[in-house]
C-alpha cells in the first residue's frame, strides 16, 4: 500500500511539473512580483509564448504582425486538451477539417497550406470531445467552466513596481553585493544609486537617462572584482586565472576551471580545490543574477516582463438545445446563443505601426485599444455504427477573436 502511495506521489509530482512547464502558471517559480494589489497573477521575465507551448490561443492574426506582437495579451486556457481545427469563427472552425480535405487537390492548395501553417503556430481555437452514454444530452447533464489567464506587458514607466524575490540562502550574498562600491570616476554604490532592498524583495530605482548601461557597467565591474577575489584561492601549480586573456569575468573563469578539471593530468588534490572554487563562483553568479534580471526591464531589446490576469466563469447552459431530433449531427453556434458568445472579454493596447515598423519610442502614447474575446460553440454527434448504440458525442470548441 505504501508503495502505491509512493508511485502516486511521484506521478502527481511529474504531472504537476509537466503542467507547470507546458501550460503554467509557475515557470518562474514566483521569482518575480509587482507591487500592485490589482496584480494577482504570476509575473514572468519573457513573453508567455516563448515559455508555454500548449493550451494557448491567439487573437485573429493581422498582416505584418511579428512574433512579439502576436505574443501580446496571450490567453492560456488551463484545460489540458489538444488543439484541433483552426478557423476564424465558430462555423468555419467546425467545418475546417472538411475544407482542408477538399482543398488538398486544388491548384491553390499551396497558399492554403501556408495559411494553415501560420494558424498552427498561432492557433485561434481548440476543443475537447466527450462521450455521454445516453441518446439525448440535457443542459443539466454537465457543468462547464472556462478558466485561464491572459498576459499584459509591464510598461517601462511601471518598472519601479517590479521586484525579484530573494531566496533565504542568497540574501546575505545579495546584501554584500549591494554594499559594494565601484570606482567609476566617482564611487558608485549599487544600493544607493540603482536598487532598493526591502526585506527579501529587490526593487529598481528608476531614473532618467541610460540607466541600463550604467547598471550593467557597475555589475560588470563587480563581476571582475569577484573574479579576481576567487582567483586568490587558487593554489595550483599552473594558476588558471593567469591564463585568461582580456577581460576576466566569473563565467570565463568558471569555464577555464572546468576545462582544467576535465584534464586527465589534473591531480586529485587540485581537482578538489577547483571544484570548491567552481561552487563558490556559481553561488556568486546566482546572487548577481537578481540584479541582472531586474535591470532587464530597462532594456528595450528584451522581451520584457509580463503579468497574468486570471479569469474563471461558469457557463449558463440552460438555454442551449442539445437535442438531435432526426439529424445525426448538429452544430450549436455562438451567434445563435448569446450565453456562449464572448463569455470572456478584455481590452488591451496595441502599438501603432508606421510603415510596417513598430514605433518603439512612442508606444506609450501611440497605441490603439482593441478588444479580445473568448467564445464557445458545440457540435453534437450521434453514434450510428450500431442501432442499439445510445452514445452521444459532444465537442466543445473554444475560439478567440
For residue 288, give the C-alpha cell: 548577481
Query: What is the rounded average pLDDT of the residues 226-243?
Result: 91
Q: Is 9 in the same domain as 128?
A: yes
User: Does 124 lie in the same domain as 54?
Assistant: yes
- Triad 72, 73, 75: Cα angle to 5°: 125
Q: pLDDT grade, residue 363 (50/70/90)? A: very low
Quick one: cell of 41?
A: 497573477
Q: Are residues 20 and 69 in the same domain?
A: yes
Report yes or no on 159 lying in a domain.
Answer: no
Give a yes or no: residue 160 inside a domain: no
Mind listing the pLDDT tens digit for each residue in 305-360? 999 999 999 999 999 999 887 778 899 988 889 999 999 988 877 766 554 444 44
Residue 115: band (very low, low, confident or very high) from pLDDT cuts 50, 70, 90: low
Domain with 140, as residue range(s), is 2-154+304-400
Among 298, 322, 350, identify where a domain stops.
298
CB neighbourhood size of 113 (10 A): 13
C-alpha cell at 302: 528584451
- With 0-12 / 13-18 / 19 or more C-beta atoms within 10 angstroms meaning exposed / middle / buried, residue 191 is middle
pTM for this predicted structure: 0.78
Domain boundary among 268, 298, 328: 298
> Are the C-beta atoms of 196 and 203 separated by less than 8 Å?
yes
Lowest-pLDDT choice from 93-97, 182-186, 228-232, 377-381: 93-97
- Do 150 and 6 lie in a common domain? yes
Give the residue from 167, 193, 168, 189 showing the smallest Cα distance to 180.
189
289 part of a folded domain: yes
Q: How many domains does the chain have?
A: 2
3-state helix, strand and coil shares in percent for the chain, rounded to the nearest 5: 40, 25, 35
Beta bridge partners of 132: 392
Please tell me whether residues 7 and 145 are part of one structural domain: yes
Work out the percent of the chain whose per-residue pLDDT is above 70. Answer: 78
Q: Give the single-character DSSP code of 139.
A: G
Average pLDDT, the chain: 81
What is the distance between the alpha carbons of residues 164 and 297, in angstroms, rounded to a whole number? 12
Are residue 232 and residue 371 in the same domain, yes or no?
Answer: no
* 127-160: pLDDT as tens digits: 889 998 888 899 999 899 999 999 999 988 899 9
Please provide the DSSP assignment of 74-127 as one string.
Answer: -EEE-S--------SSHHHHHHHHHHHHHHTTSTTHHHHHHHHHHHHHS-SEEE
Q: Which band of pLDDT confidence, cut at 50, 70 and 90, is reported for residue 75?
A: very low
Cβ atoms within 10 Å of 216's Cβ, excluding its own = 16
Same domain, 328 and 275: no
Residue 90 pLDDT: 45
Query: Is the pLDDT score of 367 beyond 80?
Result: no
Amino acid at each position: 500500500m505504501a508503495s502505491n502511495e509512493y508511485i502516486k506521489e511521484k506521478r502527481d509530482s511529474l504531472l504537476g511539473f509537466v503542467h507547470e512547464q507546458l501550460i503554467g502558471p509557475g515557470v518562474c517559480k514566483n521569482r518575480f512580483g509587482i507591487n500592485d494589489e490589482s496584480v494577482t497573477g504570476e509575473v514572468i521575465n519573457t513573453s508567455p509564448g516563448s515559455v508555454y507551448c500548449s493550451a494557448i490561443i491567439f487573437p485573429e492574426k493581422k498582416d505584418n504582425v511579428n512574433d512579439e506582437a502576436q505574443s501580446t495579451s496571450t490567453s492560456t486556457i488551463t484545460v489540458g486538451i489538444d488543439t484541433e481545427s483552426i478557423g476564424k469563427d465558430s462555423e468555419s472552425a467546425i467545418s475546417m477539417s472538411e475544407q482542408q480535405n477538399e482543398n488538398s487537390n486544388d491548384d491553390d492548395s499551396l497558399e492554403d497550406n501556408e495559411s494553415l501553417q501560420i494558424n498552427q503556430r498561432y492557433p485561434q481555437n481548440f476543443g475537447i470531445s466527450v462521450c455521454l452514454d445516453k441518446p439525448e444530452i440535457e443542459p443539466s447533464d454537465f457543468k462547464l467552466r472556462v478558466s485561464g489567464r491572459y498576459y499584459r506587458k509591464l510598461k517601462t514607466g511601471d518598472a519601479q513596481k517590479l521586484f525579484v524575490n530573494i531566496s533565504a540562502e542568497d540574501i546575505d550574498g545579495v546584501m554584500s553585493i549591494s554594499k559594494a562600491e565601484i570606482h567609476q570616476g566617482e564611487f558608485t554604490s549599487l544600493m544607493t544609486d540603482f536598487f532598493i532592498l526591502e526585506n527579501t524583495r529587490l526593487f529598481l530605482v528608476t531614473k532618467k537617462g541610460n540607466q541600463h548601461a550604467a547598471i550593467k557597467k557597475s555589475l560588470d565591474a563587480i563581476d571582475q572584482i569577484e573574479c579576481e577575489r576567487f582567483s586568490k584561492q587558487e593554489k595550483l601549480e599552473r594558476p588558471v586565472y593567469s591564463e585568461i586573456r582580456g577581460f576576466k569575468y566569473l563565467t570565463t573563469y568558471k569555464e577555464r576551471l572546468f576545462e582544467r578539471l576535465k584534464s586527465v593530468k589534473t591531480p586529485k588534490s587540485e581537482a578538489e580545490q577547483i571544484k570548491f572554487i567552481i561552487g563558490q563562483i556559481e553561488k556568486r553568479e546566482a546572487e548577481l543574477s537578481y540584479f541582472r534580471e531586474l535591470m532587464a526591464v530597462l532594456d528595450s531589446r528584451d522581451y520584457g516582463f509580463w503579468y497574468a490576469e486570471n479569469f474563471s466563469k461558469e457557463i449558463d447552459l440552460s438555454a442551449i438545445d442539445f437535442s438531435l431530433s432526426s439529424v445525426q449531427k448538429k452544430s450549436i453556434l455562438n451567434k445563435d446563443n448569446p450565453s456562449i458568445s464572448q463569455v470572456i472579454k478584455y481590452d488591451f493596447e496595441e502599438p501603432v505601426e508606421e510603415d510596417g515598423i513598430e514605433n518603439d519610442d512612442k508606444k506609450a502614447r501611440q497605441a490603439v485599444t482593441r478588444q479580445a474575446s473568448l467564445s464557445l460553440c458545440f457540435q453534437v454527434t450521434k453514434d450510428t455504427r450500431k442501432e442499439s448504440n445510445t452514445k452521444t458525442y459532444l465537442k466543445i470548441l473554444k475560439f478567440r477573436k
